[in-house]
Amino acid sequence: MSGTVLRRTGCDDGPMSQPEPLVCSAKGCRADAAWALLWNNPKLHTPDRRKVWLACDEHRTSLGDFLTARQFLRDVVPVEDAPEPS
């Protein structure tokens, strides 16, 4: 996946848009994502459900600490190994 993903734009069934960079989920950060933080909230999600936050190298630890403090963090993988959105 190498830091880009093809996404459909609009609601037509036209061709795929140009690749969009995967960016860090930290507030205000526009850096390329290098990591995928896989998490779930056990009060809301089934045990096998995984939500994904993307993180650059700078924000991997702070985003992971936030999720860990709430016991939500399940795994951290390179962005290339992140599951495809469903």
User: Which sequence spans correspond to the domains of the chain?
Assistant: 23-81
Most distant pair of Cα atoms in the chain: their distance:
43
Residue 42: predicted pLDDT:
93
pLDDT in tens, 38-80: 999 999 999 999 999 999 999 999 999 999 999 999 999 999 9
Q: How confident is the model at residue 2 (pLDDT cuts 50, 70, 90)?
A: very low
| CB 51, CB 40: distance < 8 Å | yes
